[in-house]
Amino acid sequence: MKAARLLAIALASSLPLSVGAQVATPALPPAALPSGPASSAPAIPQTSSPASPSIPNSSATSPSATSPVTLTLTQAENMALHNNPRIALERLLALAQNQVTRETRSIEMPALTGNITAVDSHAGSRITAGGLNNPVVYQRAAAGLTLSQLLTDFGRTRNLVGSAELRAQASASAAEATAADIKLAVDQAFYRALGAQSILNVAQETVKARQTNVDQISALTNAKLRSTLDLSFANVALAQAKLLLLNANNQAQDALTSLNALLGEDGAPNFTLVQDEAALPPPPQDPESLVSAAFAHRPDLLSLNQQAQAAKKFSAAEHDLNRPTLSALAAGGGTPVRADAIPSSWYGAVGVNLSIPVFNGFLFSARAQGADLRARASERQVQDLRDAIARDVRTTALQARSNYERISVAQQLLDESNSALDLAQLRYNLGLSSIVELSQAQLQQTQALIDFADARYTYAASLAEIRFQTGQ
């Protein structure tokens, strides 16, 4: 009996019971890792997202209706910039603001009006009510043109046009800022989807390995070589792995759905994510240079600066309301049908008018002071945004450096957990330890795999955040 027992244990030990040999390391893009013991990471295979139902979309860049298409990060960004409705909205608003500039500039242009008039009146009629004069109303039929031209309002229209142009530029910069927001959201969703898929791969392999454990320990239990307690622990580990698989699958589908919405698609996601094989660079070491770059290139800050300048121009225009306005008017035409009191068959006249504001109940001074206050408020908004940008850039740089260091720590943890699992497996096969020690080693290795995947993709998302914060 003793020889048969030893033979059964030896046969069981020869089976592929080691979880470390079956759970695949999550697929991740290569990164430049710090030197040290953590640099000897296992080989990392390619990963892809699961195929989902087809999406009905007529766009040339949309996924196929029959099979999933591959999607890189660059392609995802381009699709979002082309299809996302928020970007189209901001661009349309920018185009509308350009028309406001044309409206304002029209004040400087001549205005030509055509008139056709026919009048039948009671003999000797005069307009005797509603005015200080008594114009005679003659029977007539005539046609003519009226030309009016603003000669000068001493700078008011020029300031209004300048303010409108700056607001149009600010609207265009706001559209660029929206595009940058969408691009950052796509990058984060893309890396989140890749990370979720890597965790899903870990969960799938973990379930397979735990099921193998249960089958082997069940056989040993039936042969009276392992206790039912060992089988119970193995079943508990399998149930935990299945729960992990369910959660990982939900997270993967949720990440794909979020990415699909950012891409401007209204159908179900139907694409396979392809990661960039380029090595991730180390984080920048000088946050202050990043702050300077952000001040120079952030489109939202540029938009707010342009709005502040527009407010100053408008304030100057409101102060110009107290200045005179000089305009010219010309009129000419013919009167083929007319009363006897109108001797000529044609008419023509030209003149100029100087309008000087005297008093209007302090309307112009109130408008000027209100415009001054709004201009000062715009300057404070610019300063507030600059302070927020400086804070966010420094915080993002620190977070990126921390996430970069997490990669090496997570890789070291993965290496140690693999070694610990191999040792625990060997001890359990030889009967030197309990199932508790093996289960703990399995859980630690699974968590290390998840932490390793999370660290790499979190760092990649941090680099995308730095690019956004600096306006790249």
For 55-73, the pLDDT digits (tens) are 334 333 444 445 778 888 8
Least confident of 275-284, 380-389, 428-437: 275-284
Confidence of residue 230 (pLDDT cuts 50, 70, 90): confident
How far is C-alpha 108 from the geometric centre of its chain's CA atoms? 40
Confidence of residue 277 (pLDDT cuts 50, 70, 90): low
**Residue 20 reports pLDDT greater than 70:** no
Nearest to 77 by CA among 186, 181, 151: 186
**140, 118 Cβ separation under 8 angstroms:** yes
Q: What is the pLDDT of residue 66?
A: 56
What average pLDDT does this structure show over 357-383? 92
Q: What is the pLDDT of residue 429?
A: 82
For 398-410, the pLDDT digits (tens) are 999 998 988 889 9
**159, 313 Cβ separation under 8 angstroms:** yes
Confidence of residue 26 (pLDDT cuts 50, 70, 90): very low
List phi, psi (to 5°) of 140: -165, 165
If one compares 128 and 27, the residue with the highest pLDDT of the two is 128
Confidence of residue 48 (pLDDT cuts 50, 70, 90): very low
Strand 271-273 and strand 69-71: pairing? parallel
Confidence of residue 118 (pLDDT cuts 50, 70, 90): very high
Report the CATH number of the 2-109+157-324+361-469 domain.
1.20.1600.10
